[in-house]
Amino acid sequence: MGNVEFGLRIPSFPVDGSEGKEFIKQIVRFVSDLEENFSSAWVCDHFYPWADFVQKTTPTIEGFTAISYLLAIFRRLKFGNIVLCNSYRNPALLAKMGATLQLLSGGRFILGIGAGWKRDEYISYGYEFPSAKIRIQQLEEAIQIIRKMWNEGKATFKGRYYRVEDAICFPKPEPVPPIMIGGGGEKLMLRIVAKYADWWNLPNVSIETFRRKLEILEKHCERVNRRPEEIKKTLANIVAISKSMGEAKRILSKSPFSKIGNPEDFIVGDVDAVTDKISRYVDLGIEHFILRFLDFPRTEGARLFAEKIIPNFT
């Protein structure tokens, strides 16, 4: 259990009615209080709130800009997006952006990327929204371009969806950032994970669901002649923790995020209950947790987690 790491999920929009400047202050205070206890921090990639429980006009920070800003402030943490939508940025440009951020941050950038899913956002911002199959095929080509540029400094690639000719990427990133692919589609996406991912992420899934997805991923790994142990398994999940089970459940019930899925899949409870659930995920092979604490912008939950849970796994 000594290799387990924990990251902070940073909200991209407020749920308490805060305006933009106050929301940024909340984020900075939150991370400042906790950076000594966590190893990474993550921001999603949406242009307006992905959740239906807030208005689309709620102040929302853009993901890549946000982590660039935060990397400069918090010099201990690694930062990534959970996860970038491949469709929103040309892969050669994204490779150059990532290489630059890796240089400026001293090697603390993680590229989280996925195939995209939010149709209304695509249409609103002028992007075509092809089928899931095509979006996954586009992601596969994009990752090949990014890897080639990062490893070789120059890429020529002629695919079905992307073409680049001597796309230059100097200085090459050192070290090459890990690529974390987010997604759990069993036929197509997990095959891409098996072929290309350094890290793999699933969000808000039960222990049983993660176990099933992992078994399918292992079969895909066998087909592409890759060892599953080469891929770091990560879980993004919602946490409501307090000194009593009743208070933890109250935090969950008051949060609008309780509406986005099955609360049984979240990590909720007192110290013992949360420790037990984390342990069960770790037993499946999860090495990095990315956690959204529901009492944000307060830090009581995250601090309790840092003091009582993290030492058991690091």
Q: How far apart are CA 50 and CA 124, in angstroms?
A: 13
Q: What is the mean pLDDT of residues 184-189?
A: 97
Residue 78 pLDDT > 90, yes or no? yes
Q: What's the mean pLDDT when you consider all of the chain?
A: 97
Whose tokens are 């490893």? That residue is 151
Residue 273 pLDDT > 90, yes or no? yes
Residue 70 pLDDT > 70, yes or no? yes
pLDDT at 271: 98
pLDDT at 36: 97
Q: What percent of the chain has pLDDT over 70?
A: 99
Domain that holds residue 54: 5-312
Residue 314 pLDDT > 70, yes or no? yes
CATH code at 148? 3.20.20.30
Residue 274 pLDDT > 70, yes or no? yes
Q: What is the mean pLDDT of residues 17-46?
A: 97
Q: What is the pTM of this model?
A: 0.97
What confidence tens digit (pLDDT) does each residue in 35-60 have?
Answer: 999 999 999 999 999 999 999 999 99
Q: Are strands 84-85 and 109-114 parallel, antiparallel or unpaired?
A: parallel
Nearest to 154 by CA among 163, 145, 162, 142: 145
Under the banding of pLDDT at 50, 70 and 90, the label for residue 183 is very high
Q: How far apart are CA 51 and CA 181, in angstroms?
A: 21
Strand partners for 85: 114
What confidence tens digit (pLDDT) does each residue in 190-205 have?
Answer: 999 999 999 999 999 9
Q: What is the mean pLDDT of residues 227-250?
A: 98
Residue 1 pLDDT > 60, yes or no? no
Residue 86 pLDDT > 80, yes or no? yes
Residue 295 pLDDT > 80, yes or no? yes
The total number of structural domains in the chain stands at: 1
pLDDT at 242: 98
Q: What is the mean pLDDT of residues 17-34?
A: 97
Q: What is the mean pLDDT of residues 221-249?
A: 98
Of residues 261 and 272, the one with the higher pLDDT is 272
Of residues 49 and 259, the one with the higher pLDDT is 49
pLDDT at 23: 98
Contact partners, residue 8, CB within 8 Å, separation at least 6:
30, 31, 34, 38, 40, 41, 42, 290, 291, 293, 302
pLDDT at 259: 86
Under the banding of pLDDT at 50, 70 and 90, the label for residue 261 is confident
Cα dihedral sign, 111-44-39-107: positive
